[in-house]
Copies of this chain bind each other. A is one copy, B any other.
């Protein structure tokens, strides 16, 4: 049995007795499994897999204990993965991430919920959620008060080709040469490449520090362990809060080729941008990929136009095979955001004034019933349809890679989705493209869809 001890850093180093008690208690109780599995994922950072079961099975004898003494806390790791150890010590970045897990899974879960209860009479539910997200990000040190807008959020697939990886790397390098920081979903593929590129660009510019912020969620972290470029790890409670964190923390959004998860992300932001209230709140959105991804973006573009109307294309810009042009557009976008925030006295580090309707904020509980109840019809406001489509793709991601989703589909068969013929056919086509392009799974197992499409009569 190998045991490693890790001492706390940063905000976890100074705890009240109350906090320390509650952490050591909760980390042993009902939260233990979640906490253990997320910590294991972190220790596997950089290892490629998207099958959380495999990961968990490989390390069945791994244990993690939060030990309380008068001085505070320490973490004890029993049988940690060997790849996490160098010269007898847990690699420093992994130590840092381990405490991020403790902070976000255990501490936050307890403290913020209590705080929310307190404040519920003073804030609307929607405001309450936004305040909660802010607290999580602030607690993680992800909000920097004195920094000008310079975070580019990069969305895209975890399962991509080498060319796509290299393209995203080059975009990241051009961003780094302009000292722009990166925020992604923190897994492999597109979630890693721009971070790696940005590091190299920053180095070329003798820039001191390149932030690589990874935003993840408990139910996905085991399937997509943080890649080894992530410098700041934040775990949001669920996909909806994670998406909200992306759009309020980031300043410009870049969408690279990806699968259903990327479609979900894109529909989330389009649902927001379609709202009248957000008309004047700039959130620049760029879709980009290498030459071979041209058909991909054409298919996506046409799906969006036919589902949400032609004018949807005003809300994004497609750039094919030109990393420098992407970086220049991002720079311009940051400039626009900077001016706007100045004008309306908005914080540089959190887009408070963006309106996100409860339809997009409210966690969508994925199950067969809710999936089949989704309203995929054209006779509704475009932003509502976007919100419904977002949920549909979210359910598909859940059925593909989240542990409870896989189990659910294994037990009860695929989810049924129905709606207007046109929309359903569009979705079907898009999913077939994703499958054909290998965008669903990392491993070479043949993909078995977790959904079934049906036309409404």
Contacts and interface: CB of A to CB of B under 8 A. Distances in A.
Contacts of A353: 70
Contact of A91 (B13, B204, B347, B349): B204
Nearest to A146: B13
Nearest to A229: B203
A206 interface: yes
Interface stretch (A16-24, A36-44, A253-261, A439-447): A16-24
Interface stretch (A117-125, A297-305, A426-434): A117-125
Contact of A145 (B13, B118, B345, B352): B13
A114 interface: yes
A127 to B, nearest CB: 7
A14 interface: yes
A355 interface: no
A316 to B, nearest CB: 24
A348 B262 CA distance: 48
A134 B16 contact: yes
A70 B352 contact: yes
Contacts of A345: 69-71
A143 interface: yes
Nearest to A350: B14
Contact of A14 (B94, B96, B145, B344): B145
A14 B70 CA distance: 31
Contacts of A229: 203
B203 A119 contact: no
Contact of A352 (B8, B17, B86): B17
A26 interface: no
A93 B205 CA distance: 6
Interface in A168-200: 177-178, 199-200
Nearest to A201: B86
A372 interface: no
Contacts of A16: 131, 134-135, 138
Among A17, A130, A131, A345, the most chain B Cβ lie within 10 Å of the Cβ of A17
Nearest to A173: B228
Given A93-B204, A205-B93, A206-B96, A177 B349 contact: no
A204 B178 contact: no
A260 B119 CA distance: 44
Contacts of A65: none
A87 interface: yes
A347 B206 CA distance: 25
> Contact size class for A?
35 or more
B127 A178 contact: no
Contact of A177 (B8, B86, B178): B86
Contact of A123 (B18, B72, B86, B91): B18
A14 B349 contact: yes
Interface string A39-59: 000000000000000000000
B346 A70 contact: yes
Interface string A327-356: 000010000000001001111010011000
A231 interface: yes
Contacts of A70: 344-347, 352-353
Interface in A79-98: 86-87, 91-94, 96
B203 A93 contact: yes
Nearest to A131: B16
A122 to B, nearest CB: 6
Contact of A228 (B21, B145, B200): B200
A19 to B, nearest CB: 9
Nearest to A209: B208
A114 B118 CA distance: 8
A437 to B, nearest CB: 25
Contacts of A204: 91-94, 228
Contact of A178 (B87, B143, B349): B87
A399 B344 CA distance: 51
A347 B8 CA distance: 13
Please list the 9 inter-chain residue pairs (A to B) with the smallest Cβ-Cβ separation, ordered nearest first: A13-B145, A92-B206, A69-B345, A92-B205, A86-B177, A16-B131, A71-B345, A71-B347, A93-B204
B347 A72 contact: yes
